[in-house]
Amino acid sequence: MTTHVLILCTHNSARSVLGEGMLNHLAAKLGKDVRAHSAGSAPAGRINPFALEVLKNAGVDTSGFRSKSWDEFTTEGAPPLSIVITVCDSAAAETCPVFFGGTGGQPAKVHWGYPDPSNAEGGEAGKRRAFELTRQALGYRMLQLLALPLATMDRASLQAALDAIGRS
C-alpha cells in the first residue's frame, strides 16, 4: 500500500516543492512505495525557477510540478495521507485543515523547518547556492524517512521516528 506524504509550505513554490521532488526521486530510485505531494496555505501560483533548476540539476523530473492549495488534499478524492510535513515556520504556525489519513486515521504531523532560500543574499549566485543547500538538506531527511519500515509502523512509532529525524 502506498504511503502518501504531504509537504507543506505557505506558498508552495520552493521548500515544499524541493521536498516533493527529492522524496519522489529517491523513493523511485530505492524502489519504495512512497508518493510525495506538496501544497501551500496561500499558493504563489508559480514555482520558483531556482527550485526547478536545482531539482533538474540533481536529475529530478519536474514535469507536472505546480503550485497548489492544501485544500486539494482535504476533499473526498484526495490521497489517504500517512504523513504531513511542514517545512516553513509560517506554515507550521497556521491552523492546518483536517487531512484524511489512511487506515490509521489522521496522518502523523511533523515540522522540519528550513529558512526560505528565496530570501538568500548574494544575488542569483547566493540564491542558487541556498536552493541547492536546501535541496540537499531535504534530500538527507527524505532518505532517513525512506529508511523507516513505513508499512509496518504504528502511528506512535512513526511519529517518534519523524520527530527524531527532525532533530538530526
156 flagged as catalytic = no
* Phi, psi torsion values for 155, nearest 5 degrees: -60, -40
Whether 47 and 18 have beta carbons less than 8 Å apart is answered as no
Q: Where are the beta strands (DSSP E) in 49-139?
A: 81-86, 108-111
Active-site hit among 36, 88, 150, 158: 88
DSSP 8-state symbol, 64: T
Instruction: Collect all residues with Cβ–Cβ distance below 8 Å to 96 and sequence separation of at least 6.
Output: 8, 70, 84, 109
Among candidate residues 131, 111, 113, the one with its CA nearest the CA of residue 122? 131
Active-site hit among 58, 78, 96, 133: 96
Active-site hit among 7, 8, 9, 108: 9
96 flagged as catalytic = yes
9 flagged as catalytic = yes
Catalytic residues: 9, 88, 96
